[in-house]
């Protein structure tokens, strides 16, 4: 069985508060926040509210549940003009670092003056990119399951792992949802 870490919303809120505090202490003043879809969008929305700056998103594809594809593809670029902006690029995790590196490069290519990166989770063993800000640093391999990924994780896990990750009540609820599709 793999090693899983499943976040509660309270953990997410604490991580976001740490990120915002670290950004403020560093004196970086982003003029726009860009969330990487899917995992970084919720975080970017909350952080943009706390920093009182506009938010936009990018969508890149690189991951299925638990496996990296060989190449990062940009599906959607930010809709706002970021030329001359100091951007804060947000994702949920830096697993390999490839998504952040590709998105960061693209924001510079689109004219951003400065780009800093922030994630909830930085996987030090596997990431080739170190984010400017991270709430949690992992020094061992772990599958991270965020609250917004519960259903995706449930569909991807074998029954033994699913029973280890989810409560009996949650499993019943997810099975009911699967039947209503």
Q: List the CATH number of the domain containing 54.
A: 3.40.50.2020
Please give the model's pTM, rounded to 2 decimal places: 0.88
Question: Would you say residue 66 lies in a domain?
Answer: yes
Task: Pick the more confident residue, 156 or 34.
Answer: 34
pLDDT of residue 73: 87
Residue ranges making up the domain that contains 125:
4-148
Question: Would you say residue 52 lies in a domain?
Answer: yes
- Backbone φ, ψ for residue 58 (5° rounding): -130, 155
Contacts of 49 (CB under 8 A, 6+ apart): none
Burial grade of 14 (CB within 10 A; 0-12, 13-18, 19 or more): middle
Task: Kindly report, residue by residue over 37-93, the tens digit of the pLDDT.
Answer: 989 999 999 999 999 999 999 999 875 545 555 688 899 999 999 999 999 999 999
Question: Would you say residue 172 lies in a domain?
Answer: no
Split into its structural domains, the chain has a count of 1
162 falls in which pLDDT band (50, 70, 90)? confident
Question: Would you say residue 138 lies in a domain?
Answer: yes
Supply 76's token pair: 């959607």
| Nearest in space to 88 (alpha carbons), one of 30, 142, 169 | 30
Question: Would you say residue 94 lies in a domain?
Answer: yes
Q: What share of the chain is helix, strand, coil (3-state, %, to 5)?
A: 40, 30, 30
Question: Would you say residue 166 lies in a domain?
Answer: no
Question: Would you say residue 154 lies in a domain?
Answer: no
Question: Would you say residue 142 lies in a domain?
Answer: yes
Q: What is residue 133's DSSP assignment?
A: E
Whether residue 116 contacts residue 132, with contact meaning beta carbons closer than 8 Å, is answered with yes
Supply 97's token pair: 């670092």
| Percent of the chain's residues with pLDDT above 70 | 94
């Amino acid at each position: 069985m793999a090693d899983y870490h499943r976040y509660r919303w309270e953990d997410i809120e604490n991580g976001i508060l740490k990120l915002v505090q670290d950004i403020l202490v560093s004196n970086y003043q982003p003029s726009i926040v860009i969330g990487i879809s899917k995992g970084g969008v919720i975080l970017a929305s909350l952080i943009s509210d706390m920093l009182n700056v506009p938010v936009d998103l990018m969508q890149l594809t690189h991951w299925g549940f638990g496996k990296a594809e060989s190449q990062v593809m940009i599906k959607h670029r930010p809709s706002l003009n970021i030329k001359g902006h100091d951007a804060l690029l947000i994702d949920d995790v830096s697993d390999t670092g490839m998504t952040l590196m590709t998105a960061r490069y693209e924001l510079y290519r689109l004219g951003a003056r400065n780009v800093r990166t922030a994630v909830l989770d930085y996987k030090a063993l596997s990431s080739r990119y170190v984010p400017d800000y991270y709430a949690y640093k992992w020094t061992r391999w772990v599958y991270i399951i965020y609250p917004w990924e519960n259903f995706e994780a449930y569909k991807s896990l074998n029954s033994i792992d699913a029973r280890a990750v989810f409560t009996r009540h949650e499993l019943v609820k997810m099975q009911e949802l699967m039947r209503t599709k």
